[in-house]
Structure 1
């Protein structure tokens, strides 16, 4: 990279890679300041840089320059703190999501801005920038933009804690009406039966050692997921040493006790009896070491192909079914069987509120007709004394 200095080494001129114009920088009032000269000629760029530096010094003497922290500096501090303070509480993948959102979207837009300049209006302009496609990326889904706002808010909160910002501005999305509560796609009892009978048939009819192994793994994956309620990312990280077959004292049944590592850090899960045989088949088939993964292969294509063949890809509301739907199926079937919603929430490492919002509201068995259709006996009219 070409470099030059002027003004006794106080001003630096340089060219970035893949750029023909000169940039200049100078350290004034505790901050390294940069600007593009927009010039390709070195002599013209030097004249520009000299005038720019003298103008900066004049503004500094008049008190017009600010040494305020930028969003980039607050972002660096947030990344350094968050990874250390949430270790064991947030998965590495969740933390990485913050890093990606900052690097790809937030820093290119807000990075150079002083923190006090990031107002509600500026954040709204950022939303317009993203939704209009001006960012050069595809137009994001509402959930994607929501997660970007969460990351932005976390960085601003970091700045407040360090005294770099007086308060976090209101960055809630305006003009937003209440969004419709979406029900998670799941398999009804009949659809689930069709699914696992199909995977069982595929496993029996598969030809060739490799294809048979893949089909048998998929069949056990479907049964395992629908009887444990694990998230797909949790199942992908599951090792054989994390799973133990136990005799449950309260039910007198053989079940699995699972140590889960995923979205919410480390948690625990107790399966239904239906997960034991699939797990035993996995052990016999793979003869694994303790640190081997239960499901080392990605069965996404196999799974989607079966859904399409059996016309199971969409539920009756048009929601797309995925491997995540097996978790939703576990929750819904447990609720249909009358399981306690609080215990289901603990076992699935989620909240009662989430289950009530996305699962239980569309299950008719959750409604108690005796409580709804209660009738009170009407009191008899009292006769007037002395009438």
Structure 2
């Protein structure tokens, strides 16, 4: 039988667990059990620790500091357990993993020991300030980064609310800067895009070293493929040869690619422009793949891609936005809009929403403005000067 001692009139218990070497202490206070390890092997030292611990808890109870509620850490554990199971197959694994990283690295160190009722709009604002001051890079995190962390925080609080641990959700919206500056995504204008693919073509034909010829050819076809399909880089990275078919489109009477896309929103479909057909045919001929092989196993060869951008002066746009492989998707959307494509069809083909396109793409394209509607003039109505009535008229 485990050795046990009762202290403080039986309200405090000192005991050992099995073959454990340290004494443990426990008490029932404020409607719940409290336990702690004394980290002591000596019974006399363990008694001193346990009594001090108990008296500290009593002091917290009198001051109203003793929490009788779930903590943010406990709610986080419940959220991660539920979310991973419920969204299995519905959400990208990396997206699910991102919630866990946000909690472990940023949210739990700041909020972990807080009771759920203590998480107020003011405390969340303090968290935003804390993140801005303690960034490892020396500059505050991007607006989107902080937004994703608050999304994780909101999901945890919703979990607590569903389980009855939290009566209502606090307002987590950022004060002062409720609507950020409306900007556009970094993209390549038609002239810049031509400069880019001419540079990748030249590098593919004349590599600096013959060992890199295959990589240069892959990058050239990647740029053309992405600029004519509008795929996200992660979608292109999952694309297999069996997901792409060369077809004769009956609506446009053109040869295009029909692509089965597996991305963050599950399975979707995309129809390319004719410009994607020849790069895909070259990829298939060059690599002699099996149906299940990845089309771009090495991604976009980021280092070579960035080198060419730097050489051509295309790494940043005029507003200082950094261009990446994602900019090829933005280029596809913008050029299609400039050529008069229907915005709803573009949204469906790119697996996004009309709202997102209007906010980040259409806002800066002059071709989306209809001068005939803006400069319309209403015809002036010729009005007669009213005649003054005289006594004879009466």
If the length of structure 1 is used for normalisation, what is the TM-score?
0.87
Residue 137 of structure 1 and its aligned partner are, at CA, apart by 9.0
Partner of 2:222: 221
Partner of 1:349: 351
Residue 109 of structure 1 and its aligned partner are, at CA, apart by 1.9
Residue 135 of structure 1 and its aligned partner are, at CA, apart by 8.6
| Pairing 1:270-281 to 2, within 5 Å after superposition | 270-281=271-282
Cα RMSD for the two superposed structures: 3.3
If the length of structure 2 is used for normalisation, what is the TM-score?
0.85
Q: Contact 1:31–1:67 at 8 Å: present in 2 too?
A: no
Partner of 2:52: 51
Partner of 1:308: 310
Partner of 2:123: 122
Larger Rg: 2
Question: Structure 1 residues 136, 199: closer, same or farther in 2, change over 3 A?
Answer: closer
Residue 59 of structure 1 and its aligned partner are, at CA, apart by 7.7
Question: Structure 1 residues 32, 145: closer, same or farther in 2, change over 3 A?
Answer: farther
Question: Structure 1 residues 239, 124: closer, same or farther in 2, change over 3 A?
Answer: same
Partner of 1:367: 369
| Pairing 1:249-328 to 2, within 5 Å after superposition | 249-298=250-299, 299-328=301-330
Q: Contact 2:38–2:46 at 8 Å: present in 1 too?
A: no
Q: Does 1:331 align with 2:347?
A: no
Q: Is 355-364 or 88-97 further displaced after alignment?
A: 88-97
Q: Contact 1:238–1:294 at 8 Å: present in 2 too?
A: yes
Q: Contact 1:7–1:50 at 8 Å: present in 2 too?
A: no
Residue 255 of structure 1 and its aligned partner are, at CA, apart by 1.2
Deviations along 1:5-50, one digit per CA (max 9) or x if unpaired, are: 8646955799xxxxxxx9976474545555888x999954641223
Please give the alpha-carbon distance, in whole angstroms, between the structure 1 residues aligned to 2:126 and 2:46: 33
| Pairing 1:80-229 to 2, within 5 Å after superposition | 80-133=81-134, 139-176=140-177, 178-206=179-207, 210-229=211-230
Please give the alpha-carbon distance, in whole angstroms, between the structure 1 residues aligned to 2:23 and 2:143: 38
Please give the alpha-carbon distance, in whole angstroms, between the structure 2 residues aligned to 1:310 and 1:62: 67
Q: May I ask how many residue pairs the two structures share in their alignment? A: 376
Question: Structure 1 residues 25, 307: closer, same or farther in 2, change over 3 A?
Answer: farther
Gaps in structure 1 of 5+ consecutive residues: 15-21
